[in-house]
Structure 1
Amino acid sequence: MTLNELSLRYDLLNSQMNPHFINNAIQSICNAMTKGNVTQSINWLNRLSHLYRLVQKSTKRKMIELQDEIEISRLYIELQKDLFDKGFSYTIEIDPLLEDDLQYTKVPPLIFQPLIENAILHGLKGKKCTGEGELCIKITIEKEMLYVCITDNGDGITKTKKELNEGSGISLENINERLKIINGDTYKKKLLDVRTLKNDTGIALGTQSCLRVPLIQL
């Protein structure tokens, strides 16, 4: 493929990013309103409005600031946390080497969100009523690359590859293809890895999804 063809392919993949989770959040807000939870509904609407503005801005661009991608992730997690009967805990860990450069570091738009969505809706599904769910997002620098891992403490991967690929509404193949384009054909390491974590006796401890993104700072 020529550079122009790759650019057009990348733009097409970006255009497929359909933030359907916003529609789901709106439905949840409507349900809360019908139950008379006015204060909670207003709180959700304010956060959803902020999330919507960020998503609208992001999906119109080839690359966005890492701080915006993190903020989109945080807002989405907070909305989903409220939908769990007893919530869940989460952490976002950022490499100290990145903390002062989040606004200058670029990533593809909504590259984290589908993996976070899978972790919450599938990984933590069995802990929805217990409050024992845990989600961790860790962003580090590894040899001129951003290495991002999303880990949950659920039951591991219980879906087929096809179901996992389609479960978020945003194809995991879409993520992989965009990463291939911006990394180039010469990069040999696996760009997207989704696996079940197990202890020494083979018992599932959760799911970990990791991706590698070129370290682009402008």
Structure 2
Amino acid sequence: MSSNELSLRYDLLNSQMNPHFINNAIQSICNSITKGNVNQSINWLNRLSRLYGLVQKSTKCKMIDLLDEIEISRLYIELQKDLFDKGFKYTIKIDEALKDDLQYTKVPPLIFQPLIENAILHGLKGKKRTGKGELTISITLEKEMLYVCITDNGDGITKTKSELNESSGISLENINERLKIINGNQCEKKLLHVRTLRNDTGMALGTRSCLRVPLIQI
């Protein structure tokens, strides 16, 4: 495939993210309005305005600042957190070596969001009314790569790969394809890995989805 064809393919994959992402956020707000949560709905609309601006900006670009990608993730998590009856805890951990360079580090737009969505809507689904759900996003440096892991403390992977793709609206293949393109199809390591975490007795402790993104700093 030529570089021009790869570029067009990449643009197409990016464009698929925008309507799905915004549609889900609007649906969440509609649900809140129908329940009569006026103040919460206004708060969400303000967040959505900020989120929409970032998403619109990001999906017009092949790469965006890691700082913006983290802010998109944070706003999305906050919106979803309010949908849980008692919320859930979340942490975003950033490698100390990256903290001063977030605005100079580039990543594909909305590369984290589908995995965060799966973690919240599927992984933490069983903890929606308990307030005991936990979500962790860690971003570290590993041999010229960004290593990004999204971990939840839910029931592990209960869907097949094809069901996960269908339920998330944006397939895991979309993420993998975009990572392959920016790697030039030359990386031997698996770029996207999703697995169930288990204790010594085999009990599921949650799900971890990890991405390897080339370290690009400008």
Instruction: Tell me which residue corresponds to 2:217.
Output: 217
Instruction: Tell me which residue corresponds to 1:71.
Output: 71
CA contact (8 A) 1:65 1:107 kept: yes
What is the alpha-carbon distance in structure 2 between the residues aligned to residue 19 and residue 149 of structure 1? 25
Secondary structure of the residue aligned to 2:147 is strand
CA contact (8 A) 1:18 1:170 kept: no
2:66 maps to a residue whose letter is L
What is the alpha-carbon distance in structure 1 between the residues aligned to residue 30 and residue 15 of structure 2? 28
CA contact (8 A) 2:105 2:217 kept: yes
Bigger shift: residues 25-34 or 66-75: 25-34
Deviation at residue 72 of structure 1 after TM alignment: 0.3
What is the alpha-carbon distance in structure 2 between the residues aligned to residue 170 and residue 14 of structure 1? 10
Deviation at residue 17 of structure 1 after TM alignment: 1.5
**CA deviations over 1:31-57 (Å, ceiling 9, x no partner):** 333443221111111001100110011
Instruction: Tell me which residue corresponds to 2:189.
Output: 189
1:101 maps to a residue whose letter is D
Instruction: Tell me which residue corresponds to 1:125.
Output: 125
Deviation at residue 2 of structure 1 after TM alignment: 1.9
CA contact (8 A) 2:18 2:55 kept: no
CA contact (8 A) 1:155 1:204 kept: yes
Instruction: Tell me which residue corresponds to 2:44.
Output: 44
What is the alpha-carbon distance in structure 1 between the residues aligned to residue 27 and residue 15 of structure 2? 24
2:62 maps to a residue whose letter is K
What is the alpha-carbon distance in structure 1 between the residues aligned to residue 32 and residue 3 of structure 2? 49
What is the alpha-carbon distance in structure 2 between the residues aligned to residue 215 and residue 23 of structure 1? 31
Distance 1:202 1:38, change over 3 A: same
Secondary structure of the residue aligned to 2:155 is coil
Q: Normalized against structure 1, the TM-score is what?
A: 0.96
What is the alpha-carbon distance in structure 1 between the residues aligned to residue 74 and residue 150 of structure 2? 13
Q: 4+ runs of 1 displaced by more than 6 Å?
A: none
- Matched positions, count: 218
CA contact (8 A) 2:199 2:205 kept: yes
What is the alpha-carbon distance in structure 1 between the residues aligned to residue 8 and residue 26 of structure 2? 32
Q: Percent identity?
A: 86
Q: 2:33 aligned with 1:6, yes or no?
A: no
**CA deviations over 1:70-89 (Å, ceiling 9, x no partner):** 00000000000000011000
Distance 1:207 1:58, change over 3 A: same
Secondary structure of the residue aligned to 1:173 is helix
Instruction: Tell me which residue corresponds to 2:53.
Output: 53
CA RMSD of aligned residues (A): 1.2
Instruction: Tell me which residue corresponds to 1:140.
Output: 140
Within-5 A mapping of 1:101-120 = 101-120=101-120
Deviation at residue 155 of structure 1 after TM alignment: 0.2
CA contact (8 A) 2:141 2:147 kept: yes
What is the alpha-carbon distance in structure 2 between the residues aligned to residue 195 and residue 156 of structure 1? 8
Instruction: Tell me which residue corresponds to 1:208.
Output: 208
1:152 maps to a residue whose letter is D
* Structure 2 unmatched runs, 5+: none
Deviation at residue 9 of structure 1 after TM alignment: 1.5
Deviation at residue 19 of structure 1 after TM alignment: 4.0
Instruction: Tell me which residue corresponds to 2:97.
Output: 97
* Structure 1 unmatched runs, 5+: none
Secondary structure of the residue aligned to 2:27 is helix
What is the alpha-carbon distance in structure 1 between the residues aligned to residue 21 and residue 177 of structure 2? 22
